[in-house]
A and B are shown apart, each in its own frame.
Chain A
Amino acid sequence: MSAATAAILFAGVILYATFGGADFGAGFWDLTAGGPERGRRPRELVDHAIGPVWEANHVWLIFCLVVLWTGFPPAFAAIMTTLYIPLGLAALGIVLRGSGFAFRKVVARLSEKRASGVVFASSSVITPFFFGAVAGGIASGRVPDNGGGDALASWLNPTSMLGGILAVVACAYLAAVFLTAEARTRGEPDLERWFRRRAVGAAAVAGGLAAGGVFVLHADSRHLFDELIDPARGLPLLVISGGAGLSTLVLLGRADPRVLRVLAAGAVASVVAGWGVAQYPYLLGTHLRIAEAAAPEATLWSLVLVLAGGALFLAPSFILLYMLQQRGRLENLG
């Protein structure tokens, strides 16, 4: 049961990385779109695309926290007492981002709009960086079983930096592809070009980072490196990720927007999944096993039942929302 719960937890991480990641990335492009006049149209597209689903995506993070602290309490405590600096900064980034987003749509004056826009955009970059750094700290085994690990070295280390930068770039890539698709759907060729150029750029940077990252991991997290390149474990996922990433770029100008979204999400999801597979059966580094950190069986069962029961309600509700949104979009277009 503990392995199943860990799989659910990791599914939450992957969903947050892809759906939440696209939103964070949209903030990245918002930040780098230039002055108010030049950046107006890309920003409007970002606003439009991110709109109502922001909160729904954000819920994956809370999902991960809740599953972690209920299903694996000691691991949660260990992570929180070690990586509190990046986690605290990520949390503050989320507050700023969330409120910037909430208010930008409502405030009327340009100066107010700009202020909340800057807050929204810069915290969209800070937050994924620190989450990536946290992932690096956990993956490289810098969180001790009982917590209270080195407050600085646990995230100021090569693997964490790689994780942080890779997270920002992956988010930017994901968002650029999603926004290219969005611009295509809405029939705005100049915006489509604008985001397509950036998607290619982000993909190139991500590819370069991944290549350089191999050396970083080899030197800093040997175990993670070995598992990732093991053909029976991490390697297939990395190959899938690279393949999906490349085919997104090739098809960027042609394919159906839905195909593009799936491919780009697949590229990011399989890298994250690769991390999960490489780390199994450990929850922290190579020292705390999933089963050792797990809560009693009854807790795990009730957790799974609650989430499964919730999914029964949530899935159709979400479809209803999505359909309404599509209808609204059509009206706005027409």
Chain B
Amino acid sequence: MPVMLAVDQLLPAREQMAFTLGFHIILVPFGVAFTFLMMVLNYRGVRRGDADALLLAKRWSKVAAVLFAVGAVSGTVLSFEMGLLWPRLMGRFGAAYGIPFAVEGVFFFLEAIFIAVYIYGWDRMRPWPHFWTGLPVTLAGIGGTCSVVAANGWMNRPAGITLRDGVVVEVRPLQVFFNPAFWYEALHMLLAAYIVAGFLTAGVYAAGLLKGRRDHYHRLGFVIPFTVAAALMLPQILVGDIVAREVFHHEQAKFAAIEALPTTATHVPETIGGVLVDGKVRYGIRIPSGASLLAGFTPGTRIAGLDAIPPAVRPNDRLVSTVHLAFDVMVGTSFLLLGLSAWFGWAWWRRRDLPASRWFLRGAAASGVVSVVTLESGWVVSEVGRQPWTVHGLLLTRDAVTTSGNVWLFFAATLVIFAGVGTATIVVLRSMQRRWQAGEEDTDVPYGPRSPRVGAGR
């Protein structure tokens, strides 16, 4: 088998990693935050004796189980890809980079166990003890997210290691985990997970409300997740602002790409839209001194441009444009969602009811998909914005990629299989929905007990 050059492998390896992570990240909000929404409804159901709330919580726990199983599968593939695609990242930095994953493994295991306990516990445990078995699911989700983000933060701002001749000779595990980027990245991602889960869930019931199913059940299924997501939109934008300023101070290359700024300057305008062509920004709208004001609160704030990056590791125009546009999409869609949230908040404050307009419900039905776009573009900013580095300043992506095999084949197989898994997930969720609408309750799910209907082969 001919040995391929690393450069040939770089494109498919990056595409494959982007694809699987992009797939997996959609499932994350369900494991992390959707289970919290389920707990809110469970609490309300038990506390107020609200049968609809309990029914929603029970159905959501089954959706959570299906999506958790799919997420476990794509997560397993990701752990293989760490080695199959990026062996030189793991080989050189596994001693540090691997630690957060060990922590994550524990949380993941805990979450898997308690999802099963929670689903088994319906009708088998008394209501309050059963409610409390759901709490570890939510907490483990938060812990797991923090661990994975710790690993990602470490790639952006590596800490806690001593290198000798390029080899890790000493590791300070706490500094690795709680690296400088950890706090703001973790908070940003957690809020994102809750927002996406909230809008996606609410979107399903908004569609039901639009179809005229305006009963207590559908209103409840809409209002609670939408309220959670809407309430977190403003905090998320504020946290995002802090994150951007951290990036400005500590990840200058990424910031230059976000702003699509060719040369270091003061009074840097905020460019909305536009692409970098031959080192110059084309198209796009400029707000005078906007970027400088946002970054340092004065128009005189100096921002390092792409020219400040050594030419050997300077991202090309296409990369810069991708990061810049992804950032614009993230911020733009965030403000759309904030507007929708404000509309809802206003109506609720005035009349204790949803906005009457059908346009609100249409917007809410779309909000889930929009929030996924926001999530994905934020992730593009973080990951593509770090290129050409895998571990900032320490390991170039082209030095991390595997030199063996043909990644294109692996990528093609992954694409086919994930397309199948993705389609099947949707088909399965739709069929669960249809049966629930038909009043069938005893759907079997992974982790769940078998319903008596098919139990024991009788």
Contacts and interface: CB of A to CB of B under 8 A. Distances in A.
Interface of A: 40-41, 44-45, 47-48, 51-52, 54-56, 58-59, 61-63, 65-67, 69-71, 73-74, 76-82, 84-85, 87-88, 91-92, 94-96, 98-99, 101-103, 105-108, 112, 116, 147-148, 151-152, 186, 188, 295-296, 298-299, 301-303, 306-307, 309-310, 313-314, 317-318, 320-321, 324-325, 327-328, 331-333
B265 interface: no
B74 A95 contact: yes
Contact of A91 (B3, B77, B405, B427): B77
Contacts of A318: 113
A88 B84 CA distance: 7
A94 B77 contact: yes
A-B CB proximity, top 9 nearest: A70-B98, A77-B91, A73-B94, A310-B106, A295-B95, A80-B83, A98-B73, A302-B173, A102-B69
A108 B96 CA distance: 46
A59 to B, nearest CB: 5
Contacts of A56: 109, 112-113, 116
A186 B456 contact: yes
21 contacts: A56-B116, A81-B403, A84-B402, A84-B410, A91-B80, A94-B73, A98-B70, A99-B420, A105-B445, A105-B446, A107-B431, A148-B403, A295-B98, A296-B170, A296-B171, A302-B102, A303-B98, A313-B110, A317-B114, A321-B113, A332-B452
B30 interface: no
A81 B402 contact: yes
Interface of B: 1, 3, 66, 68-70, 72-77, 79-84, 87-88, 90-99, 101-103, 105-106, 108-110, 112-114, 116-117, 120-121, 124-125, 133, 136, 168-173, 402-405, 410, 413-414, 417-418, 420-421, 424-425, 427-428, 431-432, 435, 443-450, 452, 454-457
Nearest to B172: A298
Nearest to B73: A98
Given A106-B445, A324-B124, A302 B99 contact: yes
Contact of B169 (A107, A296, A302, A313): A296
A298 B403 contact: no
B124 A76 contact: no
Contact of B171 (A77, A81, A298): A298
Given A61-B76, A65-B83, 19 more contacts: A48-B450, A62-B75, A66-B101, A73-B91, A77-B92, A80-B87, A82-B404, A87-B84, A105-B444, A106-B445, A108-B435, A148-B403, A148-B404, A186-B456, A295-B98, A302-B102, A306-B99, A310-B109, A313-B106
B88 to A, nearest CB: 6
Contacts of B173: 298-299, 301-302
B80 A88 contact: yes
A102 B91 contact: no
Contacts of A95: 73-74, 76-77, 417-418, 421
The interface centre, meaning the residue of B92, B117, B425, B452 with most chain A CB atoms within 10 A of its CB, is B117
Contacts of B72: 55, 58, 98
B90 A73 contact: yes
Contacts of A87: 80, 83-84
Contacts of B443: 106
Contacts of A152: 1
Given A102-B69, A320-B117, A303 B83 contact: no
Nearest to A42: B457
Given A55-B112, A88-B84, A296 B95 contact: yes
A94 B77 CA distance: 8
Contacts of B421: 95, 99
Contacts of A320: 113, 117, 133
Contacts of A48: 450, 455-456
B120 A77 contact: no
A98 B405 contact: no
Given A298-B171, A332-B450, A65 B94 contact: no
A56 B120 CA distance: 15
Given A88-B410, A321-B120, A102 B106 contact: no
A307 B102 contact: yes
The interface centre, meaning the residue of B101, B427, B448, B449 with most chain A CB atoms within 10 A of its CB, is B449
Given A186-B456, A321-B116, A52 B109 contact: no
Given A65-B83, A74-B91, A91-B80, A303 B102 contact: yes
Contacts of B417: 92, 95-96
A303 B76 CA distance: 20
Contacts of A106: 66, 428, 431-432, 443-446
A306 B446 contact: no
Contacts of A331: 124
Nearest to B89: A77
Contact of B98 (A55, A69, A309, A328): A69
Contact of A76 (B68, B91, B169): B91
A107 B445 CA distance: 9
A321 B113 CA distance: 7
A40 B420 CA distance: 26
Contacts of A314: 106, 109-110, 113
A85 B446 contact: no
Nearest to A320: B117
B98 A73 contact: yes
Contact of B90 (A80, A105, A332): A80
Contacts of B450: 47-48, 51, 332
B109 A296 contact: no
A328 B70 contact: no
A191 B74 CA distance: 35
A87 B94 CA distance: 19
A48 B455 CA distance: 8
B49 to A, nearest CB: 24
Nearest to B76: A94
B80 A101 contact: no
B90 A188 contact: no
Given A56-B112, A108-B435, A102 B73 contact: yes
B36 to A, nearest CB: 19
Contacts of B68: 55
B77 A332 contact: no
B238 to A, nearest CB: 33
A188 B456 CA distance: 9
Nearest to B1: A151
B344 to A, nearest CB: 33
A56 to B, nearest CB: 6
B6 to A, nearest CB: 11
A73 B92 contact: yes
Given A55-B69, A318-B113, A327 B124 contact: yes
Contact of A92 (B69, B83, B88, B414): B414
B84 A91 contact: yes
B110 A317 contact: yes
Contacts of A151: 1, 404-405
